[in-house]
Amino acid sequence: MVEARVSVIMPCFNGLPYLRESMASVLEQAHGDIELLVIDDGSVDGSREYIAEQALVDPRIRPLATRGREGPATARNLGIGAASGRYLAFLDADDIWLPTKLAVQLELMQQADVVFSWCPFIEITADGVRGRTVESWQHCSAEDLLDKRTVIGCSTVIYDRERLGTEFMPDIRMRQDLGLWLRLLRMCEDRGLKAQGLEHALVLYRVHPGSLSSGKLRAAFYQWRLLRDVERLSLGRAGVRFAAYAWRSVAARL
């Protein structure tokens, strides 16, 4: 496998309780050529100071900061713009990578000529207790993802910007990662490039108490914004897509 730098984009807002473990899961990866861009987004819990302290200890850490509480899209895009690596990977400040995550994923990408990849993830509680594995299709189209027939977790993604270019997330408060995945999938489809998911889960995704129920209406609102403002679908087509999204969300919990 050709050694290549991976730039890891980690937005942080008041993430101090989990930040140490999340950052360590990057810095202890089997793949060594990394830079970790941690973007503080107006934290008031000491996260910004902790990130700066750790950057003095490990030069692979690059601390960045937004001008205030600007949201994850702005924070991630700030990191994307500052990244130096060929590959861009994403990790939220409360999620965890398994130690071979980068090595296994990059091996697939280089051996199978894949430019955009993802993997399943394992849900964990706020205390780190493992729960269900959320599967993702190994092969999916933009239409599959838009209709929510499969899911691509943000903390699982790597894309090759030498082949795809540097692509940013749409500036919306939620679903900005989905907006970028849709764009990358369409670029792959248009250019005859390969996008593929891995079979095994390599990421631990933290689910906080109340986050599933309290965020449903907000998520639905931003799903609609994604369809209308980002995807620019007509009112009728957006309505059909949104109905499919709503039905699958309900069916998944039956």
- Do residues 229 and 147 both lie within one domain? no
User: Quick check: is 40 in a domain?
Assistant: yes
pLDDT in tens, the chain (254 residues): 678 999 999 999 999 999 999 999 999 999 989 999 999 999 999 999 999 999 999 999 999 999 999 999 999 999 999 999 999 999 999 999 999 999 999 999 999 999 999 999 999 999 999 999 999 999 999 988 887 778 899 999 999 999 999 999 998 777 789 999 999 999 999 999 999 999 999 999 999 875 544 466 666 766 767 777 777 778 877 777 777 777 666 555 55
Collect all residues with Cβ–Cβ distance below 8 Å to 242 and sequence separation of at least 6. Answer: 220, 223, 224, 227
- Do residues 159 and 237 both lie within one domain? no
Tell me: the pLDDT tens digits for 104-131?
Answer: 999 999 999 999 999 999 999 999 999 9
The CATH number assigned to the domain holding 201 equals 3.90.550.10
Please give the pLDDT value at position 237: 77
The type of residue at 98 is: L
Q: In a 10 Å sphere around its CB, with 0-12 CB exposed, 13-18 middle and 19+ buried, how is residue 6 labelled?
A: buried
Please give the pLDDT value at position 222: 63
Query: How is residue 249 written in tokens?
Result: 């969300």
- Do residues 41 and 139 both lie within one domain? yes
Please give the pLDDT value at position 211: 52
Q: What does DSSP say about strands 96-97 and 61-65: parallel, antiparallel, or unpaired?
A: unpaired
Q: What angle is formed at CA 123 by the lines to CA 119 and CA 129, rounded to 5 degrees?
A: 135
* DSSP β-bridge partners for residue 61: 36
- Do residues 20 and 49 both lie within one domain? yes
User: Quick check: is 29 in a domain?
Assistant: yes
Please give the pLDDT value at position 147: 79
Looking at 193, 209, 225, the residue that finishes a domain is 209
- Do residues 47 and 156 both lie within one domain? yes
User: Quick check: is 1 in a domain?
Assistant: no
- Do residues 43 and 152 both lie within one domain? yes
d(CA 70, CA 189): 32
- Do residues 77 and 177 both lie within one domain? yes
Please give the pLDDT value at position 187: 97
What pTM, to 2 d.p., does this model score?
Answer: 0.88
- Do residues 41 and 63 both lie within one domain? yes
* DSSP β-bridge partners for residue 88: 7, 159
Q: What angle is formed at CA 248 by the lines to CA 246 and CA 249, rounded to 5 degrees?
A: 65
d(CA 146, CA 141): 9
Query: How is residue 157 written in tokens?
Result: 């993604």
- How many domains are contained in the chain? 2
Provide the domain limits for residue 168.
6-209
Cβ pair 109, 119 in contact under 8 A = no
Please give the pLDDT value at position 242: 76
- Do residues 45 and 167 both lie within one domain? yes
